[in-house]
């Protein structure tokens, strides 16, 4: 029994290091084939661990950056201090389905920009000449978290601007299932909204708590609990919405909280 445990311990410590170079090479090759962008991934900052989220394998990449090309040269489309994914390592090792169980983003910075000409910096997917058989990939995420995020949507054509600063978000649920139970909490310290050149909000705060049941086969969404706070104004929502052939049916109740409604 002790020998088996020791063998398992040694294997769990050695396998991530044996796979590290192969994983980095596979990611780089796929990026080069699919994205018209420059992706910076330092292999020295790629870390694999079976203990961080046992029995799943955690793949963490530090200081990841996606840089634009052409007219967007010099723009950073996406960056993160750390991006980590937890996958079912043992099933993947023996040729089974690759399933993503959790992800974590630390200090992500996203810039979505559209020029006055209509060119968008997120249009970076390269056309694929031949369709290769896709590896079995399942999104069965149970936990996710975003820490200290920053997102900007800058549409020069329509004169829209949305800026979200210091985003902290966490959630849990069973994403990828026909009937999903989701619970999320989001806090945005500052947001700014300019629409069609008109400024509506400047350095406002936003907080959202959502407890949702999504029934995909019936296209029904039940809001067990939804609380939204804009600065000092709080609003609650409960009820359900369902998309039917006859149209959208709903039974929704709004509740003001601490604001006299």
Contact call for residues 87 and 59 (beta carbons, < 8 A) = yes
Q: Would you call the peptide bond into 244 cis, given omega within 30 degrees of 0 as the criterion?
A: no
- Say how far apart CA 117 and CA 95 lie, in whole Å: 46
Strand partners, 85: 59, 103
Phi-psi map region of 207: left, alpha, beta (phi>0 left; psi -120 to 50 alpha): beta
Could you identify the residue written with the tokens 């997917």? 125
User: Reduced to 3 states, what is the DSSP secondary structure of residue 175?
Assistant: coil
Band of pLDDT at residue 74, cut at 50, 70 and 90: confident
- Say how far apart CA 122 and CA 112 lie, in whole Å: 6
Band of pLDDT at residue 261, cut at 50, 70 and 90: very low
Tell me the per-residue pLDDT of 191-250, one tens digit each, with 9 for 90 and over. 999 999 999 999 999 999 999 999 989 999 999 999 999 998 899 999 999 999 889 999
Tell me the per-residue pLDDT of 180-198, one tens digit each, with 9 for 90 and over. 899 999 999 999 999 999 9
User: How do strand 38-40 and strand 160-173 relate by DSSP bridges?
Assistant: unpaired
Reference 64, options 27, 33, 39; nearest CA is: 39
For Cα atoms 119, 120, 121, give the angle at the middle one, nearest 5 degrees.
Answer: 125
Report pLDDT for 128.
76
Q: The whole model's pTM is what?
A: 0.85
């Amino acid at each position: 029994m002790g020998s088996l445990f020791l063998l398992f311990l040694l294997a769990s410590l050695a396998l991530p290091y044996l796979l590290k170079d192969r994983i980095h090479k596979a990611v780089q090759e796929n990026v080069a084939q699919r994205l018209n962008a420059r992706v910076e991934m330092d292999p020295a900052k790629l870390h694999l661990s079976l203990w961080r989220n046992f029995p799943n394998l955690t793949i963490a990449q530090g200081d990841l950056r996606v840089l634009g090309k052409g007219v967007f040269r010099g723009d950073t489309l996406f960056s993160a201090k750390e991006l980590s994914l937890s996958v079912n390592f043992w099933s993947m090792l023996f040729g089974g389905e690759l399933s993503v169980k959790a992800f974590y983003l630390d200090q992500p910075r996203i810039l979505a920009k559209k020029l006055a000409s209509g060119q968008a910096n997120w249009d970076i997917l390269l056309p694929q000449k031949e369709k290769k058989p896709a590896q079995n990939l399942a999104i069965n995420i149970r936990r996710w978290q975003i820490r200290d995020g920053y997102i900007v949507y800058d549409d020069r054509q329509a004169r829209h601007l949305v800026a979200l600063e210091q985003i902290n978000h966490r959630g849990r649920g069973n994403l990828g299932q026909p009937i999903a139970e989701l619970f999320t909490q989001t806090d945005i310290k500052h947001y700014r909204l300019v629409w069609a050149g008109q400024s509506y909000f400047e350095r406002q705060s936003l907080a959202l708590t959502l407890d949702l049941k999504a029934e995909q086969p019936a296209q029904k969404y039940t809001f067990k609990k939804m609380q939204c706070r804009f600065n000092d104004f709080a609003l609650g929502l409960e009820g359900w919405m369902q998309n039917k052939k006859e149209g959208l049916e709903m039974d929704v109740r709004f509740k003001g909280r601490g604001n006299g409604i």
